[in-house]
Amino acid sequence: MLGPIAGILFDGFAYGMLLFLLSVGLSVTLGMMNFINLAHASFGMLGGYVAVTLMQHFGWPFLATLPAAFVIAAAVSMVLERVMFRRMYRATDLDQTLLTIGVVFMSIAGAAYFWGTVQQPVAVPDYLSGAFVVAGVNIARYRLFLIVVALVIVAVLIAGLEWTRFGAQVRAAVDNQRMARGLGLDVDRAFSLTFALGSGLAGLGGALAIAMVGLDPGFAFAYLIYVLIVVSVGGLASIGGSFVAASLLGISDMAGKYYVPQLGSFLIYLVMVGILMWRPTGLFGKR
């Protein structure tokens, strides 16, 4: 009995860490500027295609593609932020939704145009494939790798937000944007950097995701839903909240598929509805 439960916890947690990387950026930027960026998961998809392309066409080793996925997703998001999103900060929620959903459609069409609609083949290196058994639990090497990477990033993010001046400025801008400006903080610039960092993490998440969940142009939409669930369950601008929410959702998704396959991936929505009825602002949300 312990075997399947521990196995589900492990696999679910690994999946949750993917969801965390894909969504944490949106949680922070949404809390900071109230900017509804539905295209967030598109940056995850971009990271995935960057990794695939560098491996397939340029022969890059898998590990080297990860920072590249981060950097390119961050850079592209920064350009979009400058030329498009920045004009929309004071727009209505509906206008922001319409603009960014348009970007999602464009990203899907663009991916289909350049890479086709087929699933992308991914080969992870030998040292990351296969599994070993610890106390009856099957530990897939790749999932363990994913968990370690995500935990390191959680630690770095929390330390950065708590201990650096830039982190304090981000928290101040989330708390009270007008006062932060009134004291001399260039909120737009801080947001731009945070936005790029968050998109970069989504790109990294996308590159890490493909070996586990595959990659095709539908990624931008499929994961948009999960990202929004993580953000609403975790609460705005809370790294810890995103972490807990993503873990919870990853585990309940795996458990649902294992124990109640009839419900399939539906369980994750029930969990979301239940948590939001209990705490409408999310587990760690303040508003």
Can you give the binding site for another protein, defined by CB under 8 A?
165, 168-169, 171-172, 174-176, 178-187
DSSP 226-248: HHHHHHHHH-TT-HHHHHHHHHH
Q: Which residues contact 14 (CB under 8 A, 6 or more apart)?
A: 140, 143, 144, 146, 147, 212, 250
Nearer to another protein, 87 or 181 (CB): 181
Q: How far is the CB of 188 from another protein (least distance, A)?
A: 8
Q: Within the chain, what is the greatest distance between any pair of CA atoms?
A: 59
Nearer to another protein, 57 or 178 (CB): 178
Q: Write down the least CB distance from residue 23 to another protein, Å.
A: 20
Q: How far is the CB of 183 from another protein (least distance, A)?
A: 4
Q: Shortest gap between Cβ of 180 and another protein (angstroms)?
A: 7
Tokens 């790798």 -> residue = 145
Two tokens, residue 78: 């920064």
Strands (E) located in 162-257:
none
Residue the block writes with tokens 């585990």: 251
Nearer to another protein, 90 or 265 (CB): 90
Pick between residue 139 and residue 244 the one whose CB is nearest to another protein. Answer: 244
Q: Which one, 180 or 204, has the nearer CB to another protein? A: 180
**Smallest separation (angstroms) from another protein to the CB of 234:** 16
Residue in this structure with the two tokens 């929390």, named with its chain if needed? 158
Contact call for residues 267 and 252 (beta carbons, < 8 A) = yes
Token pair for 243 = 């972490």
